[in-house]
Amino acid sequence: MVVRNELTDDETDRIFRALADATRRDIVTRVLRQEQSVSALAGHYAMSFAAVQKHVAVLERASLVTKQRRGREQVVHAEMSTLHRAARLLESYEELWHGRARRIDDLLAEEVPPGGRGAE
Amino acid sequence: MVVRNELTDDETDRIFRALADATRRDIVTRVLRQEQSVSALAGHYAMSFAAVQKHVAVLERASLVTKQRRGREQVVHAEMSTLHRAARLLESYEELWHGRARRIDDLLAEEVPPGGRGAE
DNA sequence: ATTTCGTACAACCATTTGGTTGTAGGTTAC
DNA sequence: GTAACCTACAACCAAATGGTTGTACGAAAT
């Protein structure tokens, strides 16, 4: 299987949206430590089983977790590669910022290249 | 000023939710490269000025950017520390995974002697 | 002074989200 | 077989999201 290292906008949307909820982040940390069935996960939260199931589904659509049947249980485990790629994306933002100092030198040297307004 | 290195659930919610939109991520990368006024930013997108203004407000509430008045413009610049802390959070998930075979309890028992790793 | 520019904000709308309950199907246990 | 358990999914609801237009106000340019 070919593993692209870059994320599409949609994939990134789903990943960050999935991580933008404390319950889902908690689910992620739990299954990072140890994979668990959906109902085992549900036992930890003060909400219905169906609600937890939905949260898992959101994480699954974001490829942050996968499910695997085992008997009558569905075992949830973390998908590290996705988490890693999200981390790399944020790190690339940091790199972008660190490269900003160089750009400022250029600006000072050149003082606003002509035609700066139009493009893109 | 004391800079907590950990994020509350609410802060983390806001950060990831803010990043879960392609337009807002693009705004972040633009102001990471170079700070820009809100209207300059708005010029880059096929949506109303008010919509862009709202996106900036979402990023601002997440502390991913700050605004600074300059003349009649409001200049948006990136808040690296927040981006960095989000990146660190994801990295801590990765560390969690790498250490998952070990007993976490031992780590917790030993960690953080009072005053140990406070300010940054 | 008047106009123009950049911003702020309210009101409105369609869609999505995060929760609920209820129903149904497949597995394991008795 | 029957009961109990785990999961799936639909229907429903309140609240949040992402967009719009319109109005208003301060700063700058004329």
CATH number (domain holding residue B60): 1.10.10.10
pLDDT at B3: 72
d(CA A72, CA B63): 44
DSSP A45: S
d(CA B34, CA A71): 55
Interface of A with B in 50-109 (CB under 8 A): 78, 80, 83-84, 86-87, 90-91, 93-94, 96-97, 100, 103, 107
- Chain segment A22-33, per-residue pLDDT in tens: 999 999 999 999
d(CA A90, CA B83): 7
pLDDT at B110: 58
pLDDT at A115: 45
Number of compact structural domains in chain A: 1
pLDDT at A108: 61
Mean pLDDT throughout B56-77? Answer: 95
d(CA B94, CA B42): 36
Q: Is residue B118 part of a domain?
A: no
Q: Is residue B31 part of a domain?
A: yes
Q: Is the Cα dihedral A54, A76, B97, B25 positive or negative?
A: negative
Residue A19 has pLDDT above 90, yes or no: yes
Q: Is residue A25 part of a domain?
A: yes
Residues 6+ apart with CB under 8 A from B21: A13, B55, B58
CB contact under 8 A, B29 and A103: no
Q: Tell me the HSE value of B91 on the side-chain side, using a 13 A CA sphere.
A: 11
Residues 78-107 of B with CB under 7 A from strand C: none
User: Maximum CA pair distance of chain B?
Assistant: 57
* Pairwise pLDDT comparison (B48 vs A1), residue with the higher score: B48
Q: Is residue B117 part of a domain?
A: no
| Amino acid code (one letter) for A50 | A
pLDDT at A116: 41
Domain housing A102: 9-109
What are the structure tokens assigned to B29, written together? 């990368």
Nucleotides of D under 7 A from a protein CB: 5-11, 17-22, 26-28
Q: Is residue A15 part of a domain?
A: yes
Confidence of residue A10 (pLDDT cuts 50, 70, 90): very high
Q: Is residue A63 part of a domain?
A: yes
Q: Is residue A116 part of a domain?
A: no
DSSP B4: -
Confidence of residue B31 (pLDDT cuts 50, 70, 90): very high
> Collapsing DSSP states into helix, strand and coil, what is residue A38?
helix
d(CA A59, CA A32): 13
Q: Is residue B87 part of a domain?
A: yes
User: How much of chain B, in percent, has pLDDT values that exceed 70?
Assistant: 81
List of long-range contacts for B95-100, beta carbons under 8 Å, 24+ apart: B96/A29, B96/A32, B96/A33, B97/A32, B97/A78, B97/A80, B97/A83, B100/A32, B100/A33, B100/A34
DSSP A34: S
> A52 with A38: CB under 8 angstroms?
yes
- Chain segment A61-118, per-residue pLDDT in tens: 999 999 999 999 999 999 999 999 999 999 999 988 787 766 656 656 655 554 444 4
CB contact under 8 A, B13 and A22: yes
Residue B69 has pLDDT above 70, yes or no: yes
